[in-house]
Structure 1
Amino acid sequence: MLKEIIIAIQAYFKAHQFIQKHKLWKWILIPGIIYTILFMVSMYYFGKTSNNFIEFLSLKTGLKVWLDKINSGFLGFLFTLGSLILWVAMMLFYFSLFKYLFLIVGSPVFAFLSEKTEAILEGKSYPFSFLQLTQDIIRGIRIAGRNALWQTVYSFSILIVSIIPVAGWLMPVMALLVECYYYGFSMLDYSMERNKKSAAESIAYVGSHKGLAIGNGLVFYMMHFVPFIGWVLAPAYSVIAATLSIIAVKEKQVVYVNQPK
């Protein structure tokens, strides 16, 4: 799995070179700017909602009043740390919902970019088909909906565990890995659809190549640490990188099969 994570990470650097070489910037910047605006607005309100919920929870459970009475610095530290971890877990959960909403809205552009990438690399011609584009969009929405559902189940479980002191400290890492996997899954599925793979076959493929999904989603999230520029580039780069990573794995498999015994 580690090798596939490395392949997925390297694919982002190849994606940058690919975009420059084939002048795909208009397909990168337009959806990226829309994504950035929606991201900033939503995360602002998500942050306020998370703070209000944690404050409400601490007051309703009487935990804050109890801590004020005993005046213990150590327990106060644990409470602050636990609140921070809960806030991070909630923000990841909120972001996952926002991310899937954007995946659904942006599915026509993502389907086109994935197709364009493979057409250029393999020298194939994919004539425009409104029917095929519609099928790609519907498939993308279904996969995004499925992944959102399963990720919500896992994220909710992680959110509950994150309240537990000490044990909950690792939960943000688990939540991030789940986020990365399901986001990368959605990006990889565009190539699966184009190659006539059913949803079940796509699930099986990504399940056996978890590293590609995790690596793709991991870089996507890391790009969000670069304000504005990273936010603009992250969505389109991720779908192109996903396509490149699948092709890279396919080429490695062909080389392995053709090696002399």
Structure 2
Amino acid sequence: MIRIKEQIVSGLAAYPKALRLIWTNKLTKYLVLPVVLNIILVIAFIFSGVGIGDWINSIIERHTENMNGWIQAGMVAIKIVLPIIFFIVFIFIGGTIVNVLMSPIYTMLSEKAEAILTGNEFPFDAKQTLKDIWRALLIALRNTAKQLLLTALCLLLNLIPVVGSVISICLIFIINAYYFGSGFMDYTFERWRYSVKDSLNGTSELKYLAITNGAIYSLPLYLFCGAFIAAFIGGVSAVAATISQIEIKGKTRR
């Protein structure tokens, strides 16, 4: 059993190592497309808010004969507030959406990282690659479903004033961190030919590593700029998870 402290330290230390590995080995090219798609996704969310706001305003205009000042002010508010709401929604669920969409690229990035770190070669096999990508997507969707369900349950704690809200926020952050980290770790587990069950058991055994890895990924998402670079952070997180898993695997074999 790997100690809690060792898992947390490994998770924290892996990020600067991941950045160096990506930079020195010119793996940044694998992150260009994800970042571009990420930015497009954020902009699409914001403009969806604008479009829906215009649609709501058009309905109000059609069904309102006397456009008094209050109604006009409300329409302006809708046009301003909805894009902001959509952006906030993206901040909370964008990391999950990005991970689902980018899982094929993260799979390749994780594979490249392990090849560099261990010297192990992974010959290209189209059939196996498609299987790995499909598995990564299924894991991402499974984690997403569990995240959303547990998050919804935690939101009920807000019915308890103050204390419930604080507990809810903390639990939601930990839950999201765990499932994000779990997803990043599975890229390596699938390459080691772990079954889905074995992968889940492996993540459970290294739960504090998963939480640490996912927490570092999650934190920037709550910043304005974080939503735009979630895909980049995700790529780094996938490599960081691979580094930690290889290091811990090496220690347990001694």
- Give the structure-1-normalised TM-score: 0.74
Instruction: Describe the superposition over 1:146-191 as per-residue Cα deviations: whole angstroms up to 9, x where unpaired.
Output: 1112112210111111232022222111101100000110010011
CA distance in 2, matches of 1:153, 1:23: 39
Supply the AA of the counterpart residue of 1:23.
Answer: K
SS of the aligned residue for 1:106 comes to: helix
Alignment of 1:76-87 (within 5 A): none
Deviates more, 1:134-143 or 1:95-104: 95-104
- Decide which of 12, 16, 21 is 2:15's aligned counterpart: 12
Quickly say closer, same or farther: Cα 1:232–1:143, change in 2 above 3 A.
Answer: closer
Partner of 1:141: 137
CA distance in 1, matches of 2:147, 2:5: 22
Quickly say closer, same or farther: Cα 1:37–1:3, change in 2 above 3 A.
Answer: farther
Structural RMSD (CA): 2.8
Quickly say closer, same or farther: Cα 1:159–1:140, change in 2 above 3 A.
Answer: same
> Does 2:159 align with 1:163?
yes
Structure 2: state its 5+ residue gaps: 53-84
Aligned residues: 216
Structure 1: state its 5+ residue gaps: 50-87
Partner of 1:197: 194
CA distance in 1, matches of 2:136, 2:147: 16
Partner of 2:65: none
Partner of 2:220: 223
Partner of 1:37: 40
> Does 2:26 align with 1:23?
yes
| Stretches of 4+ aligned residues off by more than 6 angstroms | 43-46
User: Structure 1 residue 45: deviation in Å?
Assistant: 6.4
Deviates more, 1:6-15 or 1:26-35: 26-35
Quickly say closer, same or farther: Cα 1:152–1:10, change in 2 above 3 A.
Answer: same
User: Structure 1 residue 141: deviation in Å?
Assistant: 1.3
SS of the aligned residue for 1:162 comes to: helix
CA contact (8 A) 2:95 2:230 kept: no
The percentage of aligned residue pairs carrying the same residue is 29
CA contact (8 A) 2:98 2:231 kept: no
Partner of 2:5: 2
CA contact (8 A) 1:32 1:236 kept: no
User: Structure 1 residue 42: deviation in Å?
Assistant: 3.1
CA distance in 1, matches of 2:13, 2:243: 9
- Give the structure-2-normalised TM-score: 0.76
